[in-house]
Structure 1
Amino acid sequence: MNMLIESINLKGSVKAITSKSYAHRVLICAALSDKSTTFKIDEFSEDILATISCLEELGAKIEIDGSKIVVYPIVKKETIPILNCKESGSTLRFLLPVATTIYERVIFKGEGRLPERPLSDLVEEIENHGVKFSSRTIPFETEGKLNYKESFNISGNISSQYISGLLLAAGILEDEVEINITTKLESKSYIDLTVEVMEKYGIEIVESGNKIVKRKSYKTIYREATIENDWSNAAFFLCASALGDLISVEELNLKSLQPDREIVSILRRFGAKIEVKKNIVNVYRRTLKGITIELSEHPDLLPVLAVVASISKGETKFINGKRLRFKESDRIKSTVEMINNLGGMAMEEADGLTVIGIEKLKGGIVNSRGDHRIVMAAAVASIVCENEVKIVGSEAVNKSYPKFFEDFKILGGDICRQ
């Protein structure tokens, strides 16, 4: 599906949607616990539905009534589970250790670019602990259960999800489990998020240097859980506000451990005025100036921040984003392509990019490359374009924010599906 967007300022207020990162973790912890948990998810993205489907395949019972969801613990089945993770890297990396802890044999499948995304370090470490793989990349079948007698040694600079997956699986056992991180750790906030959710389910986590120790097993403490709202997707409308008229983004947790909450301080560094009232964030446009942005802790912000950079005075450098090469698209390449196709000036680097700000973008055609964040960034870019923006493959938003264009239209966006 293609989307045609006219150049019109957005204005108004929008409620942040449920955090995908938080929801994955709560769903898994609830399924591994000893009693049912009830909570709300107001936006069932494709990634969240993938995790729900896989948990059901593992033996969890999950009831959905509108936004209300009840998760009952996994009851092991006699058949071999077939887990289709769709395009969700989180689902695959979290559930690979979990499933191989519970089952002797599991079949894993995926779609899109998921088979190309990094997994080898996690596969190798799981192999070191007694599990055989029919292939190094999905689709594959595993044989043997994960052995926890020895500590785990895993890299921290490829994907923090490797570590989160091992932690989530370790919570199944009562015994102490030790995980040693063998490299510099990137995106630590996502591990902190995992720890925060696990602790709400009775798990004790002790961190010391590059070592993480898990103690105790899952116990349902709160029969009703709260899932906080999403900073990653809120960032698109916060940036839109920095580029045009005021958009108030509501129901955000300013004390969240989500790394993309840093969007507030990054926009402030660009020169935008930020106003916070309880759980509402207002961003006011001011003269924007180029800055240097470190991507290792919040790589998902790159596409929309590149749009902000495209009309900021001077040069903006994005650095230490090598992992972005392995997202739903090569996100460094697809971000550069988006900015240049819209009449901006962006140059690709090995681990990032440089954007030279101009007064206004021209508009044009953007190919999403199947990447939800490119779609939403291109839509935000329409605000600062002289002409319309056509987005090819706009359905990619369903991966994380299915009602993005609904909210975009409510805020005054002029869109036409083609």
Structure 2
Amino acid sequence: MELRTNAEQLKGEISVPGDKSISHRSIMFGAIADGRTTVSNFLLGDDCLSTISCFKKLGVHIEQQGQEVAIEGKGFEGLMESEEVLDVGNSGTTIRLLLGILAGRPFFSSLVGDQSIGKRPMTRVTKPLSIMGAKIDGRQDGKYTPLSVRGAALKGMEYTMPVASAQVKSSLLFAGLQARGTTRIIEPAKTRDHTERMIRKFGGNLKVDGKIMEVEGGQPLKGTHIHVPGDISSAAFFLVAGAILSKSEIKLKNVGLNPTRTGILDVLTEMGVDFTIEGNEEELFEPCGDMIIRSSRIKGTVIEGDMIPRLIDEIPIIALLATQAEGTTIIKDAEELKVKETNRIDTVVNELSKLGAKIEATSDGMIIYGKSSLSGGVVSSHGDHRIGMMLAIAALVCKEKVYLENSEAISVSYPTFFADLHRLMDL
């Protein structure tokens, strides 16, 4: 598709879609809790709809009317063996967290995904789940899909995660809720804590001491109501758009401000971006508030260390921001980008280079030299929703025509992305 270019400003206010991570988990916890769970502002993206589809196949009654979802849970015991293969589509969250749930169920399951999922490593989840007692197999000794799971009576364990991953941590917490005894998880760096918050919201208990979590098996969970705040990872694209286009001012309503997800805000502050937050309701199950972003004079920075897990999904759009900054930006310690929907290090570098950016890949990140004047060309999302949205924002500052291939990937997390973008441009 041909993208809008040569934009002068973005003005107005929008509400970004519900948080993808929280939407996934609301369905999963609703399915394993006892009683009715209702969810509002659910994300209607392809990934989250894959989660609903999988749990319906596992015998869970789920009703959906737009962004409102109701789940009738019957506890872990209410899950039934599916007569069909469980297809997770493009969703790494669905397959990795679902593996933790299925690991403790006394039946057989088969899981597949799309071509991208087929390339993403599953050993980081299947190995510790196998130690707990699950029987999991797949291509290359369980490294890649399709995967088969024969659930078993799990036993608690202590596990030190070699890679900081909220998906791995969450999968093991789901398994730990079913296991005999205590499951103790130690993560190398703090990752998003939506699963821990959700356990408590559904009436469960766990101990958290810094990077160490302990959960007891056999806890009953009770259905509840979940309001999903706006996804800060989706908001990030408009935060950057407002910063790099002159005369812009955008208000983003009801954005999630979970401290484990706000690394993007720390980076924006460090790079001199002008933004404010209104009505930050920190006492909520998931804190949220409105964000106002304005045109800014941007400077380069260094992004590394424990900051990376708090903004891993935002790095593609931060790279674009860095192309419009004065000076050099260096991103380090981001090897995890290589095993996302694409190898995001190489993909970001290659696609932005096509538009004229001065950017180079490193073994664990990238170096971006600002300020670059972007031209135009033919670019591709490579089936990665965040790459697609980043390129659409990049086109706004391009001087020539930009054509985006595989734009349909954006619907994975933000089905109304182009409608919202055009609304802010056309005011």
TM-score normalised by the chain length of structure 2: 0.89
CA distance 1:349–1:199, shift in 2 (3 Å): same
Q: Which segments of 5 or more consecutive residues in structure 1 lack a partner in the other structure?
A: none
**Closer, same or farther in 2 for the Cα pair 1:189/1:228, shift >3 Å?**
farther
Of structures 1 and 2, the one with the larger relative CO (CA 8 A, separation 6+) is 1
Which moved further from structure 2: 116-125 or 74-83? 74-83
Residues 368-408 of structure 1, C-alpha deviation per residue, up to 9 Å, x if partnerless? 11111111111111222112221111111011111111111
Measure, in 2, the Cα distance between the counterparts of 1:79 and 1:394.
Answer: 33
Note if contact 1:154-1:162 (Cα within 8 Å) is conserved in structure 2. no
Alpha-carbon distance in structure 2 between the residues aligned to 1:404 and 1:79: 34
Paired letter, 1:219: L
Residue 158 of structure 2 contacts residue 183 of structure 2 at CA under 8 Å; is this kept in 1?
yes
Residue 56 of structure 2 corresponds to residue 46 of structure 1: no
Q: More deviation in 225-234 or 155-164?
A: 155-164
Paired with 1:346 and 1:210, the residues of 2 have a C-alpha distance of 34
Q: In structure 1, what is the equivalent of residue 420 of structure 2?
A: 407
In structure 2, what is the equivalent of residue 32 of structure 1? 32
Check the 8 A contact 1:364/1:390 in 2, yes or no. yes
Deviation digits for residues 82-135 of structure 1 (CA, Å, limit 9, x no counterpart): 211111110011010201212321111111211221211321222223332332
Number of residue equivalences: 404
Amino acid at match of 1:290: G
Q: Which amino acid aligns with 1:271?
A: G
2: CA distance between counterparts of 1:226 and 1:52? 17
Counterpart check, 1:92 vs 2:95: yes
SS of the counterpart of 1:334? helix
The answer on 1:162 being equivalent to 2:172 is no
CA pair 199-144 structure 1, distance change in 2 beyond 3 A:
closer
Distance 2:333 2:90 in 1: 24
In 2 relative to 1, CA 134–346 (structure 1 residues): closer, same or farther, beyond 3 Å?
A: same
Distance, in Å, in 1 between the alignment partners of 2:375 and 2:136 is: 50
**DSSP 3-state at the match of 2:44:** coil
Q: Is the 8 A contact 1:311 1:359 kept in 2?
A: yes
Name the stretch that deviates more: 342-351 or 125-134. 125-134
Superposed counterparts of 1:211-230, under 5 Å: 211-215=212-216, 217-220=219-222, 222=224, 224-230=225-231
Distance 1:99 1:144 in 2: 6
Spell out the pairing of 1:80-229 with structure 2 (5 A cutoff): 80=83, 82-135=85-138, 136=142, 137-148=144-155, 150-157=156-163, 159-172=165-178, 176-181=181-186, 185-186=188-189, 188-190=190-192, 192-208=193-209, 211-215=212-216, 217-220=219-222, 222=224, 224-229=225-230
Q: CA deviation at 1:79?
A: 5.0
Equivalent residue number for residue 57 of structure 2: 57
Q: Determine the C-alpha separation between the residues in 2 that align with 1:217 and 1:3.
A: 52
Against the structure 1 CA distance between its residues 289 and 25, is the aligned structure 2 distance closer, same or farther, given a 3 Å change threshold?
same
Percent of residue pairs identical: 28
Partner of 1:284: 294
Structure 1's 348 and 146: CA in aligned 2 closer, same or farther, altered over 3 A? farther
- Aligned equivalents of 2:168, 2:398: Cα separation in 1: 40
3-state secondary structure, aligned to 1:251: strand
5+ residue gaps, structure 2 = 280-288
**Considering only aligned residues, what root-mean-square deviation do their CA atoms show, in Å?**
2.1
Asked if the contact 2:37–2:223 (Cα under 8 Å) also holds between the matched residues in 1, the reply is no
| CA–CA distance in structure 2, aligned partners of residues 365 and 324 of structure 1 | 23
1:347 pairs with 2:360: yes
TM-score scaled to structure 1, two decimals?
0.91
- Contact preservation (8 Å) 2:3, 2:395: no
Query: Per the alignment, do residues 385 and 34 of structure 1 end up closer, same or farther by CA in structure 2, a change over 3 Å counting?
Result: same
Residues 358-369 of structure 1: pairs in structure 2 closer than 5 A: 358-369=371-382
Shift of 1:210: 5.4
What amino acid does structure 2 have at the position aligned with 1:147? L
